[in-house]
Amino acid sequence: MRIAFLMAPEGVEEIELTRPWQAVLDAGWNPRLVSTGPDRVRAFRHFDKGATFAVDHVLAGDTSEAFDALVLPGGVANPDALRRNEMAVGFTRDFFEAGKPVAAICHAPWTLVEADVVRGRTLTSWPSIATDIRNAGGTWVDEKVHVCRAEPATLITSRKPDDLDAFCGSLVREFAASGTRSGAGRV
């Protein structure tokens, strides 16, 4: 499976990128770093600069067609930048419209709120995002990971880096199940 990891050029929480990326690799799938900017993405370790990562694909009005699932890593600055980028919001919305699974951690549900895909769904996030989720018509729960299988797409959400084991396990299970249902699931 080809898994898109969507992020802005700066501000992704490093561990919220690297741990799910490794889980996708360990599952035998093909992670692709998709960004709103070219070249490299600058990660952060909370407020300190972290590593940089090469961009595989620059977003330019793309749809979910080339991918089987989407991961939205958090951090504060990353989803804040994505939710202000029409292409990123449209790309995210397209995964839901196509019925493809999406996983989001920490502050990443800000992008989901902007894409108007949380209405009628139950999800978790960093606690300060709870009001935004409720105001967008979603139900917020305080859980390590929450899987919402509302049609048309499965949504896997998690609160914070401490929950990454549960998040990564759930996203691998749900992405695999989705690939089996859709006939995808191949590299």
Q: Is 106 left (phi over 0), alpha (psi -120 to 50) or beta?
A: left
Total Cβ atoms within 10 A of residue 18: 17
Q: C-alpha angle with apex 68: 184 to 141, nearest 5 degrees?
A: 120
Catalytic residue among 72, 104, 106, 153: 106
148 catalytic per annotation: no
First to last CA, the chain: 4
d(Cα 168, Cα 19) in Å, to the nearest integer?
7
In the chain, the amino acid numbered 126 is W
Give just the sign of the alpha carbon dihedral 99, 105, 108, 114: positive
Question: What residues are labeled active site?
Answer: 106
